[in-house]
Amino acid sequence: MKSYTKLHFGLLSLSFLLMGCGATTLVSTPVANIDKVPLKVSELTEAQKKTWGHADLISDTIPGMSVDKAYAQIIKNRRGKKVIVAVVDSGIDLEHEDLDDVLWTNKGERPNNGKDDDGNGYVDDIHGYNFLGEAYNEQLEYVRMLRLNVGDASARAKARLKLDEEYPKALQNKQQYEQILQVVKGADEAVQKELGKNIYTKKELMGIEAKTEKMEQSIAILNQMFAYGDDIPSVIDELNEGIEYFSEQVNYNLNKDFNGRTVVGDDPYNFNDRSYGNGNPKNRVDSESHGTHVAGIIAAERNNGKGVNGVATNVEIMSLRAVPNGDEYDKDIALAIRYATDNGAKIINCSFGKSFSPNAEWVYDAIKYAASKDVLIVHAAGNDGDDLDKVENPNYPNDHKYSGAEFSNNVITVGALTENYGSQMVANFSNYGKQNVDIFAPGAGIYSTLPNNTYDFQGGTSMAAPAVAGIAALIRSFYPELSAPQVKQILIESGLKTKASVIVSGDAEKGTTFDQISKSGKMANAFNALLLADNISKGKKTLASNTK
């Protein structure tokens, strides 16, 4: 699952269209005046754009998680217990300036000696483990199923239908992006020559007196492009990203003849074949940025004068490289969850997912194993804009096996919010579901760490999940006696609830109310969560589910 959104341009009759992460009292839910909070109609400042997920809805009119408020009024100078948070994801930049001091270190292992010093079954696993070896690009699961004849006949039939639909679409999108790029470049070159400068504003563009039909057309094209970027070079960068994204789909993700697992050397459909991977979970290429971004949201070093502040303090990040540029393998995910559980993680962030899972039971068993060891799993809801309660929209992993009842009480599934409180606050890419999504959190346009000591914005439910994982880490740090199910229930019960009308899937015809798109009907809130955790810890309140 691609856990971030990319700008998507379509070419229709030469028209370019944009398509498509100490107070003393608990604020009551629903908050008394939350539905009276004014809509955020003004543009956010640059500083607000980089930190909006930590803002407070009441004071800032931005649907953040009140993180700054929690630190100012609750946490202050308190010191909690260290909490290990495992990030099951792509590789992480282990040398990043904002992450290097928050990495988990396996003290029982000696680095780079080729031995399993601590006897945990993994060699040289200093900061985690790499279940992908040197692999990176991968097929989607349903394409692998067709290549290898894996899964039952019904699943393969669905896979064939999906591939027959998706491959031509990806190829067409790639070609359209390439066509658009050439048109934009041609128009840009003409305008640069006319103005005598490489960079120009929209005002300068519109000030050109077109003397030819070609120049008039160039101005019209570039005028539309300014809707998608502050300048034309940034739009061209977006187009190149689009070409790269759809090229990867055509060449790897949807290419039935591609095999990205060869360099790993294992049989990924044999759960007992476990002698593979290595102890270096660092990202292999710069574009492998997802895990680094997720880790920064959870625990980037706070107040060090660099980059961003993570949600949590007193956290150690365990890096588990198990999510390639394509669909993850069930075996890798199951083993990563078990590794995290066996090596001390109390929270596992899972910002990935897929619609086919031929060995889902391996992952289900791993989830139950984590539950038996009191480990909380935070999972991204997915980026298809789908209602996950509908049987035609399967999403793996999950905690219900499509049987109705949850088989485990240690998984919380998170949808994504935008910074715009009101009808547009549900990210158009975010999956939702009254039964199968638990809560929503900031996930669109989130600023965080990227490889090579850089920072940028990414969006997706993949960004919303680590935001909630960060709150969970705060709870487990300051109230370590609370169990994983209790932490889950605290996150759910302490969120902000509103009946505001919202649009889902970016479709104005799919209007509903916010309280109907998740089980809680709420937005995650760090301030409230810590207050409720304090009350539960002291026996002043009980949870609705009586979870222990």
Quote the CA–CA distance of 81 and 374 in Å, as a whole number. 16
pLDDT digits (tens, 9 = 90+) for 267-319: 999 999 999 999 999 999 999 999 999 999 999 999 999 999 999 999 999 99
Paired residues of 347 in beta bridges: 85, 376
Q: What is the DSSP string of 129-150?
A: EETTTT--B---HHHHHHHHT-
Percent of the chain with pLDDT over 90: 86
Which DSSP symbol is given to 498?
-
pLDDT digits (tens, 9 = 90+) for 471-530: 999 999 999 999 999 999 999 999 999 888 999 999 989 999 999 999 999 999 999 999
Question: According to the model, what pLDDT value does residue 231 have?
Answer: 93
Question: According to the model, what pLDDT value does residue 8 have?
Answer: 41
Distances (CA, A) of 211 to 188, 192, 194, 216, 221: 16, 15, 11, 8, 16
Which DSSP symbol is given to 38?
P
Question: According to the model, what pLDDT value does residue 37 have?
Answer: 61
The residue written with tokens 């908050």 in the block is: 31
- Phi then psi for residue 527, to 5 deg, are -60, -55
Query: Cα dihedral angle (60, 64, 67, 72), rounded to 10 degrees?
Result: 10
Q: What is the DSSP string of 84-140?
A: EEEEEES---TT-TTTTTSB---TT--TTSSS-TT-SS-TT-SSEEETTTT--B---
Distances (CA, A) of 514 to 32, 245, 292, 412, 521: 16, 32, 31, 18, 6
Banded model confidence at residue 548, pLDDT cuts 50, 70, 90 = low
Banded model confidence at residue 14, pLDDT cuts 50, 70, 90 = very low
Banded model confidence at residue 206, pLDDT cuts 50, 70, 90 = very high
The tally of CA atoms less than 13 A away on the side-chain side of residue 501 is 5
Cβ(79)–Cβ(314) below 8 Å: yes
Q: In terms of C-beta density within 10 A (0-12 exposed, 13-18 middle, 19 or more buried), how is residue 228 classed?
A: middle
Q: In terms of C-beta density within 10 A (0-12 exposed, 13-18 middle, 19 or more buried), how is residue 303 classed?
A: exposed
> And the tokens for 299?
């625990």
Q: In terms of C-beta density within 10 A (0-12 exposed, 13-18 middle, 19 or more buried), how is residue 413 classed?
A: buried
Distances (CA, A) of 452 to 92, 293, 456, 506: 11, 12, 12, 34
Cβ density class 439-456: b for 16+ within 10 Å, e for less = bbbbbbbbbbbbbeeebe
For residue 387, give the amino acid letter: D
Quote the CA–CA distance of 108 and 117 in Å, as a whole number. 7
Mean pLDDT of 145-170: 96
Distances (CA, A) of 355 to 74, 132, 349, 496: 41, 21, 19, 30
Banded model confidence at residue 61, pLDDT cuts 50, 70, 90 = confident
Quote the CA–CA distance of 208 and 212 in Å, as a whole number. 11
Question: According to the model, what pLDDT value does residue 403 have?
Answer: 85
- Distance between alpha carbon 40 and the CA centroid of its chain, in Å? 24
